[in-house]
């Protein structure tokens, strides 16, 4: 079956540090890959996505590259801010003939940035 | 702006009670989903619906049912709440053939 494995948390970094959160996947077929973010007290929101191999998704200074050879989609940011403190979820979906694509999520990584 | 709303942010219920969680989206989306979120387990799909009156089981449907009588509304029902259903419940919606799901703020349910 399909699955997503992401880096165990929690992760604590100082402001302006470099961030990497690892994500690898197992899927039958060619999935699309996502990073969702959950800020305290809120639901999830899409951070970035990539739909095919070698695509790079980017948003708000975050980037992730779809690596088919290593089945990975690691999230990176060059200089984190306190406002980036949140829980980050890696997820995948496979195209459905019926148009009801379902997401498979990783377990989430809690990130805390200290000033 | 895209909007998914859930009827309650916090809910406290007793074991054995029937519980209704409501979700409404204003984007005319075909697909709607219910997840539960637990620490260390991420999000797990309970049920989803791709059209009015249509529903399909997700990964953990036991102890839950759903209802979708109108396109914009998707209800999750706990027929007889149990303590192991204490969790955060998240509703999401998406347009048919579109991969991006839009989430509500969640309902934190405590079953005593």
DSSP string, B83-107: GGG-EEEEEEEE-TT----EE---E
Q: What is the pLDDT of residue B44?
A: 94
A102 with B58: Cβ contact below 8 A: yes
For the cut 70, the answer to whether the pLDDT of residue B72 exceeds it is: yes
Q: Locate B23 and state its tokens.
A: 């979700």
What value does the mean pLDDT of chain A take? 93
Q: What is the pLDDT of residue A31?
A: 92
Nearest CB among A34, A42, A108 relative to B42 is that of: A108
B99 with A100: Cβ contact below 8 A: no
Q: How many CB atoms lie within 10 A of CB A26?
A: 13
- Cα-Cα-Cα-Cα torsion A112, B2, B4, B9, nearest 10 degrees, comes to 40
For the cut 90, the answer to whether the pLDDT of residue A95 exceeds it is: no
pLDDT band with cut points at 50, 70 and 90 for residue B2: low
pLDDT band with cut points at 50, 70 and 90 for residue A99: low
Q: What is the pLDDT of residue A94?
A: 85
| Bridge partners (DSSP) listed for residue A5 | A24
Q: pLDDT tens digit string along A4-60?
A: 999 888 999 999 999 999 999 999 888 999 999 999 988 899 999 999 999 999 999
Average pLDDT, integer, range B67-91? 97
Q: What is the pLDDT of residue B66?
A: 97
pLDDT band with cut points at 50, 70 and 90 for residue A102: confident
Quick one: how far is CA A41 from the chain centroid? Answer: 19
* Closest chain B residue by Cα to residue A99: B97
Which of A2, A31, A99, A106 should we substitute to test contact with B (largest number of B Cβ atoms within 10 Å)?
A: A99
């Amino acid at each position: 079956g399909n699955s997503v494995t992401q880096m165990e948390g929690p992760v604590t970094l100082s402001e302006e540090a470099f961030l990497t959160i690892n994500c690898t996947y197992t899927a039958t077929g060619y999935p699309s890959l996502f990073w969702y973010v959950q800020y305290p007290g809120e639901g999830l929101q899409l951070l970035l996505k990539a739909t095919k191999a070698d695509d790079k998704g980017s948003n708000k200074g975050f980037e992730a590259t779809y690596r088919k050879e290593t089945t990975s989609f690691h999230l990176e940011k060059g200089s984190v801010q306190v406002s980036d403190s949140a829980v980050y979820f890696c997820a995948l979906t496979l195209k459905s003939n019926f148009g009801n694509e379902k997401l498979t999520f990783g377990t989430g990584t809690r990130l805390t940035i200290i000033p | 702006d895209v909007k998914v709303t859930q009827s309650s942010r916090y809910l406290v219920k007793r074991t054995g009670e029937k519980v209704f969680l409501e979700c409404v989206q204003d984007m005319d989306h075909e697909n709607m989903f219910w997840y539960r979120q637990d620490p260390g387990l991420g999000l797990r799909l309970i049920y989803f619906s791709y059209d009015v009156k249509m529903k399909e089981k997700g990964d953990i449907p036991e102890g839950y049912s759903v209802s979708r009588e109108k396109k914009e509304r998707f209800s999750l029902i706990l027929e007889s709440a149990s303590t192991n259903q204490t969790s955060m419940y998240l509703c999401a919606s998406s347009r048919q053939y579109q991969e991006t799901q839009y989430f509500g703020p969640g309902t934190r349910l405590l079953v005593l």
